[in-house]
Amino acid sequence: YSFSVEGDAIKVYVRVRPPSEGPALADGDQGLCLSVLSATTIRLHSKPEPKIFTFDYVANMETTQESVFSSVAKNIVESCMNGYNGTIFAYGQTGSGKTFTMMGPSDSDNFTHSLRGVIPRSFEYLFFLIEREKEKAGSGKSFLCKCSFIEIYNEQIFDLLDSASAGLLLREHIKKGVFVDGAVEQVLSSAAEAYQVLTTGWRNRRVASTSMNRESSRSHAVFTITVESMEKNNEVVNIRSSLLNLVDLAGSERQKDTHTEGLRLKEAGNINRSLSCLGLVITALVDVGNGKQRHICYRDSKLTFLLRDSLGGNAKTSIIANVHPGSRCFGETLSTLNFAQRAKLIKNKAVVNEDTQGNVS
């Protein structure tokens, strides 16, 4: 086994959607809070100074679905075929074009629509590669694809392929990594089938939002495809397995109450409830110590635990940050771009326990 260090940094893409139709655009650029300067830079018209952001790729309003797919996902799907894990995240405020980018036009489940998004195209490409590989290798090589689709809401895990289930647990396997215990796994034989499973699950998610008062934009959805290949060379059987995660993050405007709240003090409950955020304060105190020999519990969120490999681990990861260019969305756009900027800094932290004492003797 050997795995790369370079290239583990998360790639960040920004896509600017066209502004909503309406009279606001009468006089040229007015009403827009940003402009795309090049294929990698974007300028936000903040005051007093405009702010320039640089990303791995910036898609302007004219960029086609095909070209977004090519730059964001193609290479991830390819490395998935080579045994790497890959993850594609979509991030952005509701209405910023996340669903359009990932799924395609919302009114159609049509898998062949010319405007279909990154996800159906990834499916097509994955199965195209599998077919090609099979033809090349003949009967010596076989593939098995399985998928699962889960939703994380309020730190609880729900199976979108089994609406009867509730409260699944995350566990780890020494050979297979992190998995959702008890999640339904469906075998896939074609891209169309994958898309079928995805849309069914997606619908479950929306149904859930009304029947159980769970708001879809407050939940994260993770669609995972496991690609297993088996190659027979004489007597030796070589099995390789990798994951492709497609993640739809909760609407960024919803993150406000948990993440980007800055200096706000956490209020104590009115009733005879304990002072619930004290633990967070203490945890922050311990973090400052920054030593290796500390223990802190309840730090991992379910999402980051599940995707630990993708966030600064041994995987190829891309984030697509979707933004709306309207000046009314300035605040949200700024925070999305800031988030995307931060995401670029995430990389593999291979901290190796090493004693500085006693090495040289």
Partner 1 sequence: AAAAGSSWAAVCEKFRTARTLSAVESRKDPETEPYRSKYSARALLQEVKQQLSAAEEGGEARLLAVRRAVLEYELGVNHTDTEELSAGEEHLQRCTQLLEPHRLSPDCVSLYIQAQNNLGILWSERDEIKTAQTYLESAEALYNQYMKEDGNPPLDPSEHFMAEEEKLTDQERSKRFEKAYTHTLYYLAQVYQHLEMIEKAAQYCHTTLKRQLEYCGYYPVEWALNAATLSQYYLSKQCFMEARHCLAAASVIFSQAGQVPSAEDNEAEQDQQYLCQRKAEIARFWIKYCLNLLQSARKLLEDNIGELDPDRQLELKAQRKKEEDEKEEGRKKAVLFGTSDICDSVLAMEEKVSSVYPLDFQEAREIFLVGQNYVQEAKEFFQVDGYVSDHIEIVQDHSALFKVLAFFEEDYERRCKMHKRRIDMLEPIYADLNPQYYLLISRQLQFELANTFYEMMDLKVAIGNRLEELDSHTIKKINSLAQLAIKYYELFLDSLRNPDKVFPEELGEDVLRPAMVAKFHIARLYGKLITSDHKKQLENMQTSLEYYMFLVDYCEKYPYAVRAIETELELSKEMVGLLPARMERLRAKMYPFI
Task: Give the C-alpha separation, 202 to 210, whole Å.
Answer: 13
Please give the helix or strand (H or E) that residue 179 lies within, else none. Answer: strand 177-181
Query: Binding of partner 1 at residue 355 (CB under 8 A)?
Result: yes
- Member of 25, 178, 207, 346 binding partner 1 (CB under 8 A): 178
Which CB, 140 or 289, lies closer to partner 1? 289
Residue 235: burial class (beta carbons within 10 Å; 0-12, 13-18, 19+):
exposed
Q: Name residues contacting partner 1, limited to 277-296 (CB under 8 A).
A: 277-279, 281-286, 288-291, 293-296
Residue 81 Cβ vs partner 1, minimum distance, rounded to whole Å? 12
Query: Binding of partner 1 at residue 78 (CB under 8 A)?
Result: no
Query: Binding of partner 1 at residue 6 (CB under 8 A)?
Result: yes
Residue 36 Cβ vs partner 1, minimum distance, rounded to whole Å? 31
Query: Binding of partner 1 at residue 276 (CB under 8 A)?
Result: yes
Q: Name residues contacting partner 1, limited to 207-266 (CB under 8 A).
A: 213, 242, 262-266
Which CB, 47 or 273, lies closer to partner 1? 273
Alpha-carbon torsion angle 306, 312, 317, 322, nearest 10: 90
Q: Token match 């010319």: residue?
A: 114
Query: Binding of partner 1 at residue 352 (CB under 8 A)?
Result: yes
Residue 176 Cβ vs partner 1, minimum distance, rounded to whole Å? 7
C-alpha 108: how far from its chain's center?
A: 23
CA-based nearest residue to 304, from 132, 114, 170: 170
**CB burial string 129-162: b at 16+ within 10 A, e below:** bbeeeeeeeeeebebebebbbbbbbeeebbbbbb
CA-based nearest residue to 191, from 129, 138, 240: 129
Residue 188 Cβ vs partner 1, minimum distance, rounded to whole Å? 21
Site string for partner 1, 88-127 (x = CB under 8 A): ----------------------------------------
